[in-house]
Chain A
């Protein structure tokens, strides 16, 4: 009889090998105290957070906290039910209204997580004879949405407009087509050429879904994302987003102008067959989203942080995921997992937390130290961060 766990043996071995060197487990960090959106206590030490998705620093906003507390008092700790049965409270409608206002769109549907939003919309929209055309570097939730449905899946090379155009042209003209793109690709922090890609999709009669999880609140005049920044938001059929990044809580959503959109509430299984978000969560989300509409100065400061960190790391001699800063994510490319883990630990010892990202999450088998900036990082903190990178980089031999 075979042990069903045997398939994980190679991964178990890799992990044991890494940890046997005495290194801190990069995937086992515990935060004992969270001081602010940018600082926590880890292993008893004050640590600057540079690996969260708290781009706009909303998690400790006093209005957001107050809204959550009021909702907890008035509506209780949870809904104990599906959105389509007993799980829709006024707060759920209020956060959907906030999203409609934020994106200036007709419809908004809130899921319990961003992962479920992709899972639900992608698996439901593309049926057996339809095609999903997706960027090869798409997030796991997009691939899992494809796997949950039964459409025909056609990948194309990352951000390659020509490869997308060719594949669309080769598919049967009469077939239903959903092209799935992301505004910001979260591993390298690069953005998609949405202007050109959306035009190519529309010319081929395909519907377009853009996941703007990592751009909401930050990129675009109104923080609506890369599609807004590139002037094509009106041609995008579905925008997927999350509350777990700039909004600062948890939950996912889809906004759309399609006149038949509301039917999805009855046919989308990851929406129907799960409990809705707790009242406190939707109250904090709605408050945060409405505040993000007026976040211009925070957006400007976040861009300054991104440019400063990118320029500073480049000057120190690190290899980065993009030539220019394109988002709030700056990815530092490490030569291999061992040195990546060593550098990660050295940074933690300096008092800095970044994400260690490794295959299969990363493209091309890369090991990355992924830095995500927050609008609440001060310029002085960014200087401090650069000093830590310099010290850790020299100690581990990643820079000379």
Chain B
């Protein structure tokens, strides 16, 4: 598995418990519009992502992330700078 595929698998697994609508999550899935997450859900989810990968995603960075694919890319970059 490539690094990106591995990151993607772990991100998808963390989305699942918050995927209350049970939609098929893809790289194009948007957190706000498609998953319909509110700010509190986002907070819990981001905390889990941060702990999973031992990174920090600042609110400034979060503002730039709209889709699952963008999150996977951001996590990849943040892990590379560790």
- Residues on A lying within 8 angstroms of B by beta carbon are 131, 136, 146, 152-157, 163, 166-167, 170-171, 364-365
Main secondary structure of the interface of B (DSSP, over half): helix
Contact for A166 among B38, B51, B59, B60, CB less than 8 A: B51
Contacts of B38 in A (CB 8 A): 365
8 pairs of residues in contact across A and B, judged by CB atoms under 8 Å: A131-B58, A153-B60, A154-B58, A170-B50, A170-B55, A171-B56, A364-B40, A365-B40
B42 to chain A, nearest CB (A): 10
Interface contact B60-A163, CB-CB below 8 Å: no
A154 touches B47 (CB 8 A): no
CB pair A153 B58 closer than 8 Å: yes
Contact, CB under 8 Å: A153 / B47? no
Task: Give the Cβ gap from A126 to chain B, nearest Cβ, in Å.
Answer: 12
Q: Hey, what's the 0/1 contact readout for B18-43 against A, CB within 8 Å counting as 1? A: 00000000000000000000101001
The tally of residues in B whose CB lies under 8 Å from a CB in A reads: 12
Q: In the complex, which residues of chain B have a beta carbon less than 8 angstroms from the beta carbon of A166?
A: 50-51
Given contact pairs A154-B59, A170-B50, enumerate 9 new A-B contacts (beta carbons under 8 Å).
A154-B58, A156-B47, A157-B47, A163-B47, A166-B50, A170-B54, A170-B55, A365-B38, A365-B40
CB contact list, B55-75 vs A, under 8 A: 55-56, 58-60
Interface class of chain A by DSSP:
mixed
> B43 contacts A154, CB within 8 Å?
no
* CA distance in complex: A28, B2 (Å): 59
The answer to whether B56 and A167 have CB atoms under 8 Å apart is yes
Contact yes or no, A170 B56, CB < 8 A: yes
A358 → chain B closest CB, angstroms: 15
- In the complex, what distance in Å separates the CA atom of A136 from the CA atom of B47? 11
Residues of A within 8 A of B40 (CB): 364-365
Task: Point out the residues of chain B lying under 8 angstroms from A136, CB to CB.
Answer: 43
Query: In angstroms, how far is the closest chain A Cβ from the Cβ of B19?
Result: 19
B56 neighbours in A (Cβ, 8 Å): 154, 167, 170-171
Residues in B whose Cβ lies below 8 Å from that of A157? 43, 47
**Residue numbers in A under 8 Å from B54 (CB-CB):** 170
Q: Name A155's contact: one of B51, B55, B59 (CB within 8 Å).
A: B59
List residues of chain B with CB within 8 A of the CB of A364: 40
CB distance from B10 to the nearest CB of A (A): 17
State A146–B56 Cα separation when bound (angstroms). 17
